[in-house]
């Protein structure tokens, strides 16, 4: 049975390798490098939050609100990012995004008050949002026949950033000063900006697309396209999937410490393992989508997640929790399948604008899920909360059945 499974994985890994082994690989690597630092720094914030609280005398509520500001600004920046990408092209959008992010981190590092930290964090979140849409559209245009694998590679780079940058930032902040936990990334943003400028094609869209003006007719066109049943269904899957992901990543370490009795160090290690596995899960998921389509790949991911979420309340040993964490990491493959599928559904001339609007929508809806889960946990229903998340995964699996066959 194992040799059979290996044979099945062979074509999937070959597709992922193909995305890095031709003349277009420079684009994938440059975009992936930007996503590595863009997403990784957002996960640095929770690690450095205790230092920020001490420096500016923030209570827990205010510190939590800083994270809300970061993610809300990221969600709200998706639509403007899509519009800029459609009108000015992906190269300018990606470069501007990385430059804004680097400059705002400099403001955070040199901030003299909490107000400046909050304002700079909001602008950092908004700036990185510009990257969110353009990375999908440029890869989709560069790899029209192998987009899932290529997007999976770039997404995996983000998980690598999640696993590495927070650890590095924590070590630097502890050894020196907390500001350097942000500051060491600023030169990386500058280097990536230069790389993107020279590697990403100047004209990623047709001339008439870049000259497209915003009008009522354009708005009607966008809305009419977004009302198509497959787009509505996959957007619902994204709303539920992002809600599940935000809740899981927000509370999993706390659950392991308070309910399973693990030390903070061990819980943090399992949390890092979850993201580190995304380096492998996302390219494989994207390759599976390219080969088998969305209806045959997404349900597998959700079934594995259901098993893991239902197991959390009964497993106790460390190694069983490691296994559950491995199964949970299958959820990281969701975005590597749904995003290329959604991107391919959208007309190219409004691809960035439409994708930005949809990403803003599902992220804002999903942002309400962690507080709701927190209410359950505060009332002693931590385990039941994860059972509820399993039900969400089951709902997503059923929604896949409403997508057309490819």
Identify the pLDDT of residue 233: 92
Q: Count of domains in the chain?
A: 1
CA–CA distance, 264 with 267 (Å, rounded to integer): 5
CA–CA distance, 145 with 161 (Å, rounded to integer): 27
Identify the pLDDT of residue 268: 76
Range of the domain at 33: 12-202+212-400
In a domain, 365, yes or no: yes
| Angle between helix 264-292 and helix 294-311 axes, rounded to 10 deg | 160
Residue carrying the six token digits 């987009």: 147
CA–CA distance, 131 with 196 (Å, rounded to integer): 11
Are 231 and 342 contacting, i.e. CB atoms less than 8 angstroms apart? yes
* C-beta contacts of 363-367 below 8 A and 24+ residues apart: 363/71, 363/74, 363/75, 363/78, 363/242, 364/72, 364/75, 364/76, 365/239, 365/243, 366/239, 366/242, 366/243, 366/245, 366/246, 367/68, 367/71, 367/72, 367/75, 367/246
Could you tell me the CATH number of the domain that includes residue 301? 1.20.1250.20
Residues 6+ apart with CB under 8 A from 260: 316, 321
CA–CA distance, 9 with 114 (Å, rounded to integer): 50
Nearest to 404 by CA among 240, 212, 234: 234
Identify the pLDDT of residue 23: 62
Identify the pLDDT of residue 326: 95
In a domain, 371, yes or no: yes
In a domain, 207, yes or no: no
**Buried-exposed string 381-404: b where 16+ CB fall within 10 A, e elsewhere:** ebbebbebbbebbeebbebbeebe
In a domain, 7, yes or no: no
Give phi and psi for 380, each to the nearest 5: 85, 20
Identify the pLDDT of residue 354: 80
In a domain, 267, yes or no: yes
Residue carrying the six token digits 């440059």: 30
In a domain, 195, yes or no: yes
CA–CA distance, 281 with 275 (Å, rounded to integer): 10
Structure-token pair, residue 383: 């385990």
Residue carrying the six token digits 């690598």: 160
In a domain, 4, yes or no: no
Helix (H) or strand (E) holding 15: helix 2-18
| pLDDT tens per residue across span 95-153 | 999 999 999 999 999 988 999 999 999 999 999 999 988 887 888 788 876 666 777 78
Identify the pLDDT of residue 159: 82
Identify the pLDDT of residue 142: 82
CA–CA distance, 283 with 309 (Å, rounded to integer): 23
DSSP state of 112: S
DSSP state of 259: T
The distance from CA 145 to its chain's CA centroid, rounded to whole angstroms, is 23
Show the low-confidence residues of the chain (pLDDT under 70): 1-23, 60-61, 64, 145-148, 203-216, 218, 406
Nearest to 364 by CA among 40, 85, 71, 61: 71
CA–CA distance, 47 with 186 (Å, rounded to integer): 17
Identify the pLDDT of residue 17: 52
In a domain, 6, yes or no: no
Are 75 and 128 contacting, i.e. CB atoms less than 8 angstroms apart? no
């Amino acid at each position: 049975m194992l040799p059979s499974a290996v044979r099945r994985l062979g074509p999937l890994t070959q597709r992922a390798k193909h995305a890095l082994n031709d003349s277009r690989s420079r684009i994938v690597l440059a975009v992936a490098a930007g996503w590595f630092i863009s997403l990784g720094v957002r996960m640095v914030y929770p690690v450095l939050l205790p230092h920020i609280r001490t420096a500016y005398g923030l209570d827990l509520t205010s510190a939590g609100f800083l994270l809300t500001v970061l993610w809300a600004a990221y969600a709200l920046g998706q639509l403007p990012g899509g519009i800029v990408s459609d009108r000015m092209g992906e190269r300018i959008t990606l470069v501007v995004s990385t430059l804004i992010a680097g400059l705002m981190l400099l403001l955070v590092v040199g901030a003299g008050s909490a107000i400046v930290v909050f304002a700079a964090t909001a602008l950092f979140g908004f700036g990185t949002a510009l990257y969110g849409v353009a990375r999908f559209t440029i890869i989709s245009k560069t790899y029209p026949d192998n987009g899932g694998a290529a997007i999976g590679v770039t997404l995996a780079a983000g998980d690598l950033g999640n696993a590495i940058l927070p650890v590095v930032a924590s070590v630097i902040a502890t050894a020196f000063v907390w500001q350097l936990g942000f500051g060491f990334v600023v030169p990386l943003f500058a280097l990536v900006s230069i790389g993107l400028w020279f590697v990403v094609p100047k004209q990623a869209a047709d001339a008439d697309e870049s000259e497209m003006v915003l009008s009522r007719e354009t708005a009607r066109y966008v809305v009419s396209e977004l009302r198509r049943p497959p787009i509505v269904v996959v957007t619902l899957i994204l709303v539920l999937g992002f809600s599940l992901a935000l809740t899981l990543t927000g509370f999993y370490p706390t659950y392991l410490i308070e309910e399973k009795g693990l030390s903070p160090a061990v819980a943090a290690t399992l949390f890092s393992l979850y993201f580190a596995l995304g380096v492998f899960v996302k390219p494989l998921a994207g390759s599976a989508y390219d080969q088998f389509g969305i209806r045959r790949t997404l349900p597998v991911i959700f079934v594995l997640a259901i098993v893991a979420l239902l197991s959390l309340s009964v497993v106790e040993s460390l190694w069983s929790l490691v296994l559950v964490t491995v199964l949970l990491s299958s959820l990281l493959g969701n975005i590597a399948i749904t995003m290329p599928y959604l991107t391919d559904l959208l007309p190219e001339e409004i691809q960035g604008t439409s994708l930005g609007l949809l990403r803003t929508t599902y992220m804002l809806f999903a942002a309400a899920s962690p507080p709701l889960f927190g209410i359950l946990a505060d009332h002693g229903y931590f385990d039941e909360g994860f059972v509820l998340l399993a039900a969400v995964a089951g709902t997503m699996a059923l929604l896949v059945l409403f997508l057309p066959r490819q």
